[in-house]
Amino acid sequence: MVPFFCQMITFDYQAHTFFLFTMKKLHSLTIIFFLCFALQAADVVTLKNQQKFEGKITKISTNSLEFKAARNCYEIPLTEIEAIAFSNANNPILIALLDDSLTVDNCMKGRKDAKKLIYKLPGFVFLGMFGGPFPLIFIKFSKPLPQKEPMITSRSENKVLFDDPAYLNCYQKQVKKQNMLAVGVGWTISTAFLVNLLFNQ
């Protein structure tokens, strides 16, 4: 299932705040935009042909939106939707989208910080050359923490996220992935060197 990707652009609190955002599936590379307006009584769905429907949004899935208007229920493909306006800022559907947006954003920040440790990769290449596949076991069960890395603590703009589950999970996965790759490169180099020696004797 393809998740939604959301990016907050503006956020404004008023008596009747609602959010307008553009929607598509993640693989279409379209970001969901949120804008704020006031004094709107119903949810509004605007299609790409500029048709507008007022009523109540009941569900948003990865492929479509369910919309109830005048006792009729409609299912509209997301690919046909230009924008959606929520009349209530506390709508559970909107809150869920915001939570998903925050999780994705924090995950991306974790990966970005992990890539700052690229200067350590030559050391893991040497580990692979002299330790073979055994360092992979250590890396697999390790739990790298950003606060233990001077490079991260001094250069990261995400220090407040070091304990965030989404950030930390993606940070650790990215660190392990690049370290394992470096060990694999080292192991491949040493194996190729030994094979070359054997066949040239």
Model pLDDT for residues 152-196, shown as the tens digit of each residue: 999 899 998 999 898 999 999 999 999 999 999 999 999 998 888
Residues 132 and 171 in one domain: yes
> CA dist 20 to 10, 32, 88, 150, 178, Å?
10, 9, 11, 41, 39
Domain termination site, one of 34, 58, 90 = 90
Domain termination site, one of 35, 58, 90 = 90
Position 11 pLDDT exceeds 60 = no
Look at residue 137 in the predicted model and tell me its pLDDT: 92
* Residue 186 structural domain: 106-199
Please state the rounded mean pLDDT for residues 107-132. 93
Task: Judge whether 99 lies within some domain.
Answer: no
pTM given for the model: 0.56
Neighbours of 20 (CB within 10 A): 18
- Provide the pLDDT confidence category of residue 59 given band limits of 50, 70 and 90: confident
